[in-house]
Structure 1
Amino acid sequence: MSARALELAQRRVPFVHARVVRAQAPASARPGDEAIVYGDGTIDGFVGGLCAEGSVRTAALGALNGGGPLLLRVLPAGEAVFPDTPGARVVVNPCLSGGALEIFLEPVLPPPLIEVVGTTPIAEAFVALADVLGYATTRSLPDAPPAEHTGAVIVAGQGRGDAEALRTALDAGVGHIALVASRRRGAALLDELGLTDEERIRVHTPAGLDIGARTAPEVALSILAEVVEAVRARPAPMPERAPVPERPPERVDPVCGMTVTVTAGTPHLAAGDEEFWFCGTGCRDRYAAGLVG
C-alpha cells in the first residue's frame, strides 16, 4: 500500500489513507489493515467488510473535501464500546454483525506546485525556501508550457526569457504569475507584451510583498510570502493540487437508515418511479422482499 500511496503522491492525485488502529472481534478487519480511498469513492485495500467499508467511504470523502484528518469509530447498533476520544467521529452501523472498529483517515493532498523560470540567485533562493515550506517546485525554460496543475509561475530570469515566460504562463491560465523586476522595468515589459487589463492584473510585479527586502534570499522570502497569501488568504486562491473529483451523491438506506455514498457498485433498487440505494445487498434484498410481500 505504501508503494501505491507514493505513486499517487508523485502523480499529485488526492486520496485518503485509511488505517485500522483498533478492532474488536468479530470484526473482520485487524489493526494495521489499510486502504486508499479515491475522490470518486473507489476503495483500494481492506478496512472491513461491506458495511464497514460503506461507512469508511462516506467519512473519507468528507475528510478529502475539507474535513481534515479523522478518527472514525464504527460501532454496531446497541453497543457502546471504546471510550470517547476528542476528534473522533462515531458511526453506528446497524448492519454490522458485531465487533467495532477505529480507523484513522488521513487526507493526502499534494502541495502547491510552483514553476520557477530562471537560474538567478533569487530563483535559487526561492526554490530552497519553498522546499522548507513543503511546496513542490519545478524548473523550466521560458517558452516551455507549465506542468499540469501548476498554481504559480515565478519569472526570475532578470531579463533572460522573461517575456516568453510571461506569455506562456498567461496562455496556460496560471492563476498567480510573479515577475522579478523593478517597478519601471516590469511596467515597460507588460506594455511591450500588449497585455489586456485582465492579463495585467494576473502578473504581480515587482514580485513579492513589500518587506524592505534587499538580498536575494530576502527577495525570495517576500515572493514566497506572496504565494502563501495567494494560497491561503485570498477569496479565490490559486489551485493547490489536482482537483478532487466531484463528491458522489449520498442517500439514506431505507432499511437500516445508514447514509450511503452512491458509486457504481452501490446496491440499488428501482421500485416504480422511485430509486433506492442500500448499504449492502442484505438491506436491498430485505427491502425487495417487503415489496413482494
Structure 2
Amino acid sequence: MDLAVRAEQLRSERQPFVEATVVRAQPPTSAHSGDRALVLADGTIEGFVGGQCTESSVREASRTVLEQGESMLLRVLPAGSGEFPDTPGATIAVNPCMSGGATEIFLEPRMPPIVVAVFGDSPVAEAVGEFARRVDYSVEQILGTSVPAEASVVIVASHGGDEAGVIRAALDAGSRYVGLVASRTRGAAVLDDVEPTDEERARLRTPVGLDIGARTPAEIGLSIVADIVRVARSGGLARSSGESGRRVEVPRGTGPKPRTAVDPVCGMTVTITESTPHLVLAGRTVWFCCPGCRRRYEKDDVA
C-alpha cells in the first residue's frame, strides 16, 4: 500500500486521520525506525508500526490526538522496563506483551481544513476569501442559497440579495459560525426576517469580525478571518464532544467514536475493530489487546 497515495485520498474525502511514524525502536520489537502507518478515526490502522499490543496503544493514543488536534510522542514500553531513555513531553504506554522491546512513535493529526463558505462578490467577500486561504482554510462560493454541507463557517457579504435565505440555509445546515456583513441596524432587520431560535442566535454574528476599527474592505476581511481563527482555536467550531483541551473542527460524516474495552488480563484499554482479538463466552464478548492475553484468559477460564 502506498501510504502517500492513501493519505491524499483521505484528505480529498475530508476524513481525519493520524500519521504514525516510528522514531526509535529497541529490539526485540518488530518495528523499525521509519515504519509508518495511518490511523483512521474508527481505529483502523493501515501500515505497520508494531505488533498488536503496540497497535492497541497507538489506536488509543490516536483517539486523543484527533480529539485534541495536537501531535503526540508516544513511548510504548514493555512492562517493568525503564531502560529506554526518558523523553520529556512524551506520553507513556506500558506494553504487557511478552515480546518486549520499546518504541517511540510520533503521532500527528491530519484534520480536514475548516470550510469557509462565502456569499457575495463584494470586495469584502473577496478579502475574506483571500485571508481565509492564507490560514489554510478551504473557501467555497455560495451560489443561490445552497450552503455546502461541510461548511462550518458561512460569511454573508453581499450587501443585499437573499441574505436572510442564505442565513436560514446555513443555520439549517448546522454551520457553527454564520456572519453577516452589515451595520447593527440593518443586521438586526435581516435577523428579524430569519427568526432564529435562541440556539441559532448564538451562532450568528452581525456586525461580524473583531473590533479593530476596520474601514477598508481588506481590513474588514482581516477582522472577520481573525475572529474565525479565534473561535476555531477556542473550540467553537467543533462538531463533536471531546475531552478537555484544545479542540478542532471535526467534519460531519466522521461517524461515531470507536468503541473501546478493557483487556481483563493486562488492563489495557483497546479500541474495538474487526481485527481486535476477542472471545464470545456465554453470549458475552471479551476483548483483548493481543492473542497472548486471549490465550492466557482461555487457560485461566478453563482452569
TM > 0.5: yes
Quote the residue 1:223 is aligned against.
224
Work out which of the residue numbers 114, 123, 129 in structure 2 matches 1:121. Answer: 123
Q: What is the DSSP-based 3-state SS (H/G/I as helix, E as strand, rest coil) of the residue aligned with 1:7?
A: helix
Residues 22 and 30, structure 1, Cα contact 8 Å, conserved in 2: yes
Which amino acid is the alignment partner of residue 82 of structure 2?
A: A
Normalised by the size of structure 1, how large is the TM-score? Answer: 0.88
The 1:175–1:27 alpha-carbon spacing in structure 2 relative to 1, beyond 3 Å, is: same
Quote the residue 2:91 is aligned against.
89
Quote the residue 1:241 is aligned against.
250
Which amino acid is the alignment partner of residue 71 of structure 1?
A: L
Give 1:250 deviation, angstroms: 3.4
The 1:59–1:241 alpha-carbon spacing in structure 2 relative to 1, beyond 3 Å, is: closer
Residues 72 and 105, structure 1, Cα contact 8 Å, conserved in 2: yes
Quote the residue 2:269 is aligned against.
259
Work out which of the residue numbers 42, 45, 68 in structure 2 matches 1:43. Answer: 45
1:284 aligns with 2:285: no
Structure 1 Cα separation of the partners of residues 82 and 263 of structure 2: 23
Structure 1 Cα separation of the partners of residues 96 and 35 of structure 2: 22
Higher-Rg member (1/2)? 1
Quote the residue 1:195 is aligned against.
195
Quote the residue 1:209 is aligned against.
210
- Unaligned stretches of 5+ residues in structure 2: 240-248
The 1:238–1:81 alpha-carbon spacing in structure 2 relative to 1, beyond 3 Å, is: closer
Q: Deviations over 1:145-199 (max 9, x none)?
A: 22222111101112244344223223323222111122333333334x3524545
Structure 1 window deviating more from structure 2 (179-188 vs 216-225): it is 179-188
Quote the residue 2:135 is aligned against.
133
The 1:203–1:290 alpha-carbon spacing in structure 2 relative to 1, beyond 3 Å, is: closer
Quote the residue 2:242 is aligned against.
none
Q: What is the DSSP-based 3-state SS (H/G/I as helix, E as strand, rest coil) of the residue aligned with 2:97?
A: coil
Which amino acid is the alignment partner of residue 168 of structure 2?
A: R
Q: How many residues align?
A: 290
Which amino acid is the alignment partner of residue 169 of structure 1?
A: A
Give 1:238 deviation, angstroms: 5.5
Structure 1 window deviating more from structure 2 (197-206 vs 103-112): it is 197-206
Quote the residue 1:162 is aligned against.
163
The 1:230–1:79 alpha-carbon spacing in structure 2 relative to 1, beyond 3 Å, is: closer
Give the CA RMSD over aligned residues.
2.4
- % identity of equivalent residues: 50
1:179 aligns with 2:194: no
1:69 aligns with 2:78: no
Structure 1 window deviating more from structure 2 (163-172 vs 281-290): it is 163-172
Q: What is the DSSP-based 3-state SS (H/G/I as helix, E as strand, rest coil) of the residue aligned with 1:263?
A: coil
Quote the residue 1:8 is aligned against.
10
- Unaligned stretches of 5+ residues in structure 1: none
Give 1:60 deviation, angstroms: 1.4
Structure 1 window deviating more from structure 2 (262-271 vs 38-47): it is 262-271
Which amino acid is the alignment partner of residue 177 of structure 2?
A: H
Residues 147 and 166, structure 2, Cα contact 8 Å, conserved in 1: no
